[in-house]
Every structure is written in C-alpha cells, then in structure tokens.
Amino acid sequence: MVPILLCSVAALAIVIERSWALRRKRIMPDGLVTQIWQLQRRNQLDDAQIDAIRRGSALGRMLAAGLVNRNHSREIMKEAIQDTGRHVVSGMERYLSTLGTIAAVTPLLGLLGTVIGMIEVFSVIMEAGVGDPGILAGGISQALITTAAGLSVAIPTLMFHRYFLSRVEKLVIGMEEQALRLIEVMQGEREADAGEVP
C-alpha cells in the first residue's frame, strides 16, 4: 500500500503542475502574431522586444527564433522555428511519461499486494487449518484492498495522462499555425519592401 500511496501523491502533484503549466493563455497568448506584426510595421522590433517575446510564452520562444532570422529566407526562418519548437514541445511533455508509468505500475503493485496477502492467508490455513471462515474472509478482503487501491490510482492517472497528451497535441498544432502565419506575414512584408525598392 505504501508504494501505491506514494504513486498517488506523485500523480496528483504532476496533474496539478501540468494543469497549471499547460494553460492555453500561458502557452499561446492571443494576438501575439498581430502584436509582432504591429511592432514590425512601426520599426520597433529590436533585440529587446524579441527577448521580451521569447520570455513571454512557449509560442513566444518559437516565434522569437524565427524573428531572429527574419532577414533570411523563408526556409531558414522555418528551420529555426522548428528547432526551437522541438525543445518547446519537449518541455510541454515534461512529467507525462512519469504519469504514464504510474498509470501502468500501480495496478501491478496492487496485484502484487494481493498475491502477497493471499500467500499469507494460505500460510495461516496451513498452520491453523480452515477452522474459522471469518478470519479467512477478513484476510482475503484485506489482500484485495491493494488491488482496489492500485486500480483507484491507475484509472484516473491514465485518464489524465491521455488528456494531457491530447492537450499538448492540440497546443502544438495551434503553435505551428501561428508560426506559419508569422513566417507568411514577415516574408510577405519583406518581399513587398523589396518590390518597392527601385
């Protein structure tokens, strides 16, 4: 039971932390690409502004990598965003493998507890015989409690694990869309400026 309780505490801590860390506003603030485009139009997009964008959110980190390369080709800009994006996604998936491991291990710990309890019950039977069915029933029910505890931890943990994986996937798709939008806006403006030069 002690390992199962420790797993439940760890799972709860991860669920709370990931719920806080994976909030959409924190990962992908609304209107960030528009804000960047306005800064660019007003010629205020300097290194300090890019650094502020980078520190603001996970999406900001990705977009800042592209902004640093905004004077290069579309491919270089896209590659810089993708490289940073891999690190950002890795950070978003932090602790999720631990959560999946807890979901897989706790039923096994419960089963192990039940098996150990049943071994003890049979040891009592061998020593004292089958005299009192009440003692046997109590021993068996005690052994089964660990299985119930393991499943009680594993089922919600597995549900949260799947939920967070789905959430990360949706956020990644949204960030990719925003990054592509930024590339189109910045490269389109660059091409327009180049077209205006005689």
Tens of pLDDT, residues 15-58: 999 999 999 999 999 888 888 888 888 888 888 888 998 998 99
Residue 36 in tokens: 């960047």
Which pLDDT does position 9 carry in this prediction? 96
Alpha-carbon torsion 59, 60, 61, 63, what sign? positive
Going by C-beta distance under 8 Å and a sequence separation of 6 or more, which residues neighbour residue 187? 74, 77
More confident residue, 183 or 164: 164
Per DSSP, the three-state class of 103 is helix
Arithmetic mean of pLDDT over the chain: 86
- pLDDT band for position 197 (cuts 50, 70, 90): very low
Residue 37 in tokens: 């485009």
Backbone torsion region of residue 29, taken as left when φ is above 0, otherwise alpha when ψ lies between -120 and 50, otherwise beta: beta
- pLDDT band for position 198 (cuts 50, 70, 90): very low
For residue 130, pLDDT over 70 is answered with no
- pLDDT band for position 192 (cuts 50, 70, 90): low
pTM: 0.82
Residue 46: what are its φ and ψ, rounded to 5°?
A: -105, -175
Which pLDDT does position 190 carry in this prediction? 63
Which of 56-60, 110-114, 139-143 is predicted with the least confidence, judged by mean pLDDT?
Answer: 139-143
Residue 146: what are its φ and ψ, rounded to 5°?
A: -65, -35
As a whole number, mean pLDDT of residues 1-27 equals 93
Which pLDDT does position 27 carry in this prediction? 92
Residue 60 in tokens: 């900001």
For residue 135, pLDDT over 80 is answered with no
For residue 194, pLDDT over 60 is answered with no
- pLDDT band for position 126 (cuts 50, 70, 90): confident
Residue 102 in tokens: 């807890």
- Among 67, 65, 5, 10, smallest CA distance to 35 is for 67
Buried b (16+ CB within 10 A) or exposed e, 157-176: bbebbeebeebbeebbeebe
